């Protein structure tokens, strides 16, 4: 293929305006039901469902189309136990030894989170997302990647939406620091552990912090020019 080759836009579907309105409203109603969950059941979730959600994430736009991401799908109970052990050790420093600093801990207080992370073992799936500083559009390339955090952030958003759409709950977890995930998942140094996404069913009595339900009003986040 020549560098500037184009092909006809594949798969585009145009809806009439009524259907567009209905689809926009439907998506809004559905995504509004997404909440970060911290009480996960150990009910298994078939691997194929997680795999399709990853495929959805991998359709995300990315800088120069380098797709600078890697997803480690963790189901093995021994590996989950290792992740929990290391994450809780980091989180004890963050919360209990107050390494996070008072301002950050104060911001987190209404969520009621602490160093204990039992869901890292109970949830059926942990998805460790890595951001690649180097790579390229084809596997094995060794070029610089661009807008890495933006690209992996967008792919992670797609993934969270895909998992929610499939009927699964997620937790965006970011133990700090997170580089122990490179070691556990066998990922190279040029990859940065970006987010540890926990996915599964919520427990029956799962709760969410009231604080998380505060969402800014449309008028407060939008300027129409
Ligand atoms: C980048 C990022 C990092 C987060 N890290 C954590 C975390 O380490 N532990 C946790 O319990 N929640 C974490 N969260 C979840 C947020 O607390 C949660 O999204 C927020 O309270 C709003 O709740 P909602 O997702 O239910 O709307 C994180 C969210 C994001 C986007």
CB atoms within 10 A of CB 112: 11
174 ligand 1 Cβ < 6 A: yes
Q: Which two tokens stand for residue 155?
A: 């792919």
Q: Which two tokens stand for residue 215?
A: 């969402």
Contact criterion met (CB below 8 Å) for 160 and 34: yes
pLDDT at 4: 83
Query: What is the rounded average pLDDT of the residues 84-93?
Result: 96
Q: If we measure between CA atoms, which residue out of 163, 173, 162, 212 comes closest to residue 35?
A: 212
DSSP conformational letter for 40 = B
Q: Which of 36, 153, 197, when mutated, tests ligand 1's pocket best, judged by the most ligand atoms within 8 Å of its CB?
A: 36
Q: Which of 37, 86, 150, 174, when mutated, tests ligand 1's pocket best, judged by the most ligand atoms within 8 Å of its CB?
A: 174
Q: DSSP string of 121-141?
A: HHSSEEEEEEEESEE-SSTT-
100 ligand 1 Cβ < 6 A: no
User: How many angstroms is it from 172 CA to the middle of ligand 1?
Assistant: 5
Max distance between CA atoms of the chain, in angstroms, equals 57
pLDDT at 1 over 80: no
Query: What is the rounded average pLDDT of the residues 10-19?
Result: 97
pLDDT at 94 over 90: yes
Domain architecture of the chain: domains with CATH: 35-221 (3.40.109.10)
User: How many angstroms is it from 111 CA to the middle of ligand 1?
Assistant: 9
Q: Which of 88, 111, 172, when mutated, tests ligand 1's pocket best, judged by the most ligand atoms within 8 Å of its CB?
A: 172
pLDDT at 149 over 60: yes
pLDDT at 2 over 80: no
pLDDT at 95: 95
111 ligand 1 Cβ < 6 A: yes
36 ligand 1 Cβ < 6 A: yes
User: How many angstroms is it from 39 CA to the middle of ligand 1?
Assistant: 14
Write the burial class of residue 191 (CB in 10 Å: 0-12 exposed, 13-18 middle, 19+ buried): buried
173 ligand 1 Cβ < 6 A: yes
Q: How far apart are CA 131 and CA 179, in angstroms?
A: 12
Which atom of ligand 1 sits closest to the CA of residue 113? 11
Of all protein residues, the one whose alpha carbon is nearest to atom 19 of ligand 1 is: 36
pLDDT at 57 over 90: yes
């Amino acid at each position: 293929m020549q560098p500037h080759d184009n092909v006809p836009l594949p798969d585009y579907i145009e809806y009439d305006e009524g259907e567009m309105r209905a689809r926009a409203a439907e998506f809004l109603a559905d995504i509004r039901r997404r909440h970060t969950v911290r009480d996960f059941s150990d009910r298994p979730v078939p691997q194929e469902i997680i795999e399709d959600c990853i495929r959805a994430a991998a359709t995300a736009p990315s800088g120069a189309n380098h797709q600078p991401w890697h997803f480690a799908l963790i189901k093995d109970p021994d590996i989950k136990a290792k992740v929990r052990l290391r994450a809780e050790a980091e989180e004890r420093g963050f919360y209990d030894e107050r390494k996070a600093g008072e301002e950050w801990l104060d911001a987190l207080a209404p969520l009621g989170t602490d160093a204990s992370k039992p869901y890292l073992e109970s949830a059926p799936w942990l998805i460790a997302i890595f951001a690649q500083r180097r790579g390229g559009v084809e596997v094995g390339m060794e070029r610089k990647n661009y807008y890495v955090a933006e690209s992996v952030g967008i792919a992670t958003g797609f993934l969270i939406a895909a998992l929610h759409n499939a009927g699964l709950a997620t937790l965006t977890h970011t133990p700090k620091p997170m580089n122990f995930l490179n070691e556990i998942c066998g990922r190279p140094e040029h990859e940065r552990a970006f987010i540890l996404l926990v996915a599964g069913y919520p427990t029956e009595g799962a709760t969410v912090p009231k604080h998380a339900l505060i969402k800014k009003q449309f008028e407060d986040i939008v300027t129409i020019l």
